[in-house]
Structure 1
Amino acid sequence: MQNGNALIIGGGIAGLASAIALQKAGIQCDVIEIGETPVGASISISGRACEALDELGVYENCFQAGRPFTAEMSAPPMHDATGKVIGEGPSRPTWQNAKAPIGLYRPSLARILRDEAIKQGASIYDGITVRQFENHSEGVNATLSNSTFKKYDFAIGADGIHSRTRERLFPQAPSPHYAGQMSIRWMIPSDPIQGEGWFIGGELGRLGFFHMPQENLVYVPIVLNVPEQKLSQEQAYDLVAQLLDTYTAPAVVNLKKYLKKDSIFICRPFKSILLPQPWFIEHTLLIGDAAHATTAHMGMGAGMALEDAVVLGQCISKADDIQEAFNLFMQRRFERVRTVVETSLALSQHEQHGGDKKEYQSLMGNAYKEISQPY
């Protein structure tokens, strides 16, 4: 396809990256986003997803804005509840010809992608969503919440795990399901705190902490094995305090000194969905979490969204029409993301039920090997 226009519903990682890739392919993009500014937490990009950042033209900016994973950061020490080192933490393999993995502040990634999308010519509209949507064999008609009506050659649903676009296209599709664990992300304004790494063996769950030098923040990812619930900040504080009390490791005891009543916690249930293929009907395609949300156990959720965007741009450039492009996209993406979604769920179950550590590492290693292949 050459030229044309597209509506991208969702201005998160998948949507902004798609806007960049499609603009580069000659498609004029309108991006609409109803949500607010991304909440701050750390995000990791590794493996082939770094190549996707490079193809989008933003890898160097992300590298400068983040923290490169050194060999030590790639597999930080894993400790038991007493602080004894019991091995290396979850590792990110070095893949042949892949660029160096990085960790960066999520709002920084959003800003970099947004700036590049605008630079490439995309139009971005904040506080806007779809009011009426007609997906048909010739294209897409959309009436937006600001009463704007416009015709598009195709639309991309990049509106996240609770996608309204998915509901419109596939009303019978399964809903995202709870994996059995809650994620709490705690950001501490601080210089590095001694003892960073992963700590397991607490009665409620596990945690880690790592310094982010650009923002001078310590990032504390926490995973709790608890029933699904909507946590207030006060409830999150109580749960984090209870978790820290189950550890006698000196580093965790020291970490508790930073826990305050006004600490800010980002609380999310680990939910997952893998939409059966195809992810499109007529001229509308779902990508990113709208089609394949995953738990964080492989650290590949954002990476798969970035890969989606780059592959979509390639397919649009190669195909004669949108149906050919979407079919080619599905051929290249489905099995790859299924590996990530299904393996991540299996790893979550291992953590909850005390599965064999060697089997856990084998599951993760096999999945990483599979997705080490070029996208």
Structure 2
Amino acid sequence: MTIVSKGLIVGGGIAGLSSAIALQQAGVQCDVAEIGDLRPVGAGIGLAGRAPDALDELGVYDQVVATGQLGLGRPVMYDAAGGVLSAAPPPDDIPGAREPIGGYRPALAEILVKRATELGARVETGMSIESIVDTADATVVTMTDGEVRSYDFVIGADGINSRTRSLAFPDAPEVRYAGQMSIRWVFPSDPVDGEGWYISGEMGRMAFYHQPYPNAMYCPMVLNLPRTKMSQQEAYEFVKRFLDTYTAPAIVELRKHLTPESELIVRPFDWMLMGKPWHRGRTLLIGDAAHATTAHMGMGGGMALEDGVVLAQCVTTAASLEEAYETFFDRRFERVKTVVETSVTLSEREQQNLPPGPENGRLMGRAMGVLAQPY
């Protein structure tokens, strides 16, 4: 028997939905309030380390594999002309761990929503919270539509700009800009020969690889730019200029697909890391609300999945909610701290135009050694 019976999860992203699934599996009724529409942008996602194990515990590993591809590998590093800078060794297998998956983020979201609702979670869109007030034996929450509800606990899984964090932790550390912008480009296409990472020097770097589902090329770009907003037209013009700096045959081929109507997703690389505590009263922060990272390790989604599974384990084994939250922090902090700090360091090295040599390998190797351990 768990210490709680009903809770509110604010945020319907990976952390929120994985928490809902894991808690529902443990017999805890969950409402999920998502301010958006649960349809994330159409970009890729890599799930490595122990994240595939979390998918398995959530009961969705095989479904995610069916919409993605097994194995991520380590990309070869090229220069702008297509010359090899370094050939990375194959990834080390993690004993006992499920095989990594490369997938399509909207497909993952659809699978998680379906699993959560099948287990009995109530998922609401266009909804968030206005206030949180703890009483002696419950948390009273006012929703954005004015409805007042009572729960045993509240989980803030509402991302880097968390409304829950601003309400429960007005003294939380500020979100910081890492100094780079991300532009992700997705377009329908069969595979293009020569996929991998290309280094372009001072402007940044890009990668491209094929996604079997939905048969598209995914091209993430990391650019050394001031934090800025771009219209779709401005993004198109910038990417066109950026691609023109490459002479590698594969990039020349990719350029043929770029049009003013191309899907270009522009985001800043913001990050933040909460120290102890992650909870105040009956409210707990997880996922990007507590530990947002840049994408340099590709582990943000994996940490969110792990958060959900570990939270349910803590809730089902603790003697009190306070104990569950304390144990959750103790189990999660060093893992997510490793991801955030390593990712930010790799970003800084790129902005200094340092070569992607042994030092980057050492940083990644040390971090992946931590993440190879069971969560």
Is the 2:3–2:321 Cα contact (8 Å) retained in structure 1? no
**2:341 counterpart letter in structure 1:** E
Distance in 2 of aligned mates of 1:204 and 1:236: 15
Deviation at 1:220, TM superposition (A): 0.3
Is the 2:185–2:219 Cα contact (8 Å) retained in structure 1? yes
Corresponding residue number in structure 2 for 1:145: 144
Is the 1:136–1:283 Cα contact (8 Å) retained in structure 2? no
Distance in 2 of aligned mates of 1:240 and 1:137: 55
Corresponding residue number in structure 1 for 2:227: 228
What secondary structure, in the 3-state scheme, does the structure 2 residue paired with 1:60 have?
A: helix
Is the 1:188–1:219 Cα contact (8 Å) retained in structure 2? yes
Give identity over the alignment, percent.
53
What secondary structure, in the 3-state scheme, does the structure 1 residue paired with 2:131 have?
A: strand
Distance in 1 of aligned mates of 2:192 and 2:202: 23
Deviation at 1:89, TM superposition (A): 5.2
**1:118 counterpart letter in structure 2:** T
What secondary structure, in the 3-state scheme, does the structure 1 residue paired with 2:53 have?
A: helix
Deviation at 1:206, TM superposition (A): 0.7
Corresponding residue number in structure 2 for 1:12: 13
1:237-278 per-residue CA deviation (whole Å, 9 max, x = no partner) reads 122112111111111111111110111101110011001111
Structure 2 gaps, min length 5: none
Deviation at 1:91, TM superposition (A): 6.5
Corresponding residue number in structure 1 for 2:107: 108
Distance in 2 of aligned mates of 1:198 and 1:233: 24
Distance in 2 of aligned mates of 1:156 and 1:26: 16
What secondary structure, in the 3-state scheme, does the structure 1 residue paired with 2:342 have?
A: helix
Structure 1 gaps, min length 5: none
Is the 2:278–2:329 Cα contact (8 Å) retained in structure 1? yes
Distance in 1 of aligned mates of 2:186 and 2:260: 13
1:210-235 per-residue CA deviation (whole Å, 9 max, x = no partner) reads 11112011000100011110111111
Is the 1:10–1:160 Cα contact (8 Å) retained in structure 2? yes
Corresponding residue number in structure 1 for 2:34: 33
Deviation at 1:136, TM superposition (A): 4.2
Distance in 2 of aligned mates of 1:90 and 1:265: 31
What secondary structure, in the 3-state scheme, does the structure 2 residue paired with 1:74 have?
A: coil
Is the 2:180–2:268 Cα contact (8 Å) retained in structure 1? yes
- Check 1:151–1:302 CA distance in 2 against 1; reply closer, same or farther (3 A cut): same
- Check 1:3–1:327 CA distance in 2 against 1; reply closer, same or farther (3 A cut): closer
Please give the residue correspondences for 1:31-110 in structure 2 after superposition, counting only pairs within 5 Å: 31-36=32-37, 37-69=39-71, 73-88=72-87, 92-110=91-109
Corresponding residue number in structure 2 for 1:206: 205
What secondary structure, in the 3-state scheme, does the structure 2 residue paired with 1:327 have?
A: helix
Distance in 2 of aligned mates of 1:94 and 1:352: 31
**1:201 counterpart letter in structure 2:** S
What secondary structure, in the 3-state scheme, does the structure 2 residue paired with 1:273 have?
A: strand
What secondary structure, in the 3-state scheme, does the structure 2 residue paired with 1:277 have?
A: coil
Q: Which moved more, 1:81-90 or 1:28-37?
A: 81-90
1:2-52 per-residue CA deviation (whole Å, 9 max, x = no partner) reads 451000000111001000011111110000001132111001111101101
Corresponding residue number in structure 1 for 2:365: 365
Q: Calculate the aligned-residue CA RMSD, in Å.
A: 1.4
Corresponding residue number in structure 2 for 1:324: 323
Distance in 2 of aligned mates of 1:288 and 1:135: 22
Deviation at 1:355, TM superposition (A): 2.6
Corresponding residue number in structure 1 for 2:343: 344
**1:247 counterpart letter in structure 2:** Y
Segments ≥4 residues shifted beyond 3 Å: 89-93
- Check 1:183–1:108 CA distance in 2 against 1; reply closer, same or farther (3 A cut): same
Distance in 1 of aligned mates of 2:89 and 2:134: 43
Distance in 1 of aligned mates of 2:54 and 2:91: 17
- Check 1:202–1:241 CA distance in 2 against 1; reply closer, same or farther (3 A cut): farther
1:54-75 per-residue CA deviation (whole Å, 9 max, x = no partner) reads 0011111001111112xxx412
- Check 1:187–1:238 CA distance in 2 against 1; reply closer, same or farther (3 A cut): same
Deviation at 1:321, TM superposition (A): 1.3
Please give the residue correspondences for 1:129-140 in structure 2 after superposition, counting only pairs within 5 Å: 129-140=128-139
Distance in 2 of aligned mates of 1:133 and 1:283: 9
Is the 2:178–2:347 Cα contact (8 Å) retained in structure 1? yes
Distance in 1 of aligned mates of 2:287 and 2:227: 23
Corresponding residue number in structure 2 for 1:313: 312
Distance in 2 of aligned mates of 1:137 and 1:159: 25
1:157-202 per-residue CA deviation (whole Å, 9 max, x = no partner) reads 0000000111111111122100011010000111111211110034
1:106-153 per-residue CA deviation (whole Å, 9 max, x = no partner) reads 110001001110111111111111133213453210121233221100
Please give the residue correspondences for 1:247-326 in structure 2 after superposition, counting only pairs within 5 Å: 247-326=246-325
Distance in 2 of aligned mates of 1:160 and 1:90: 34
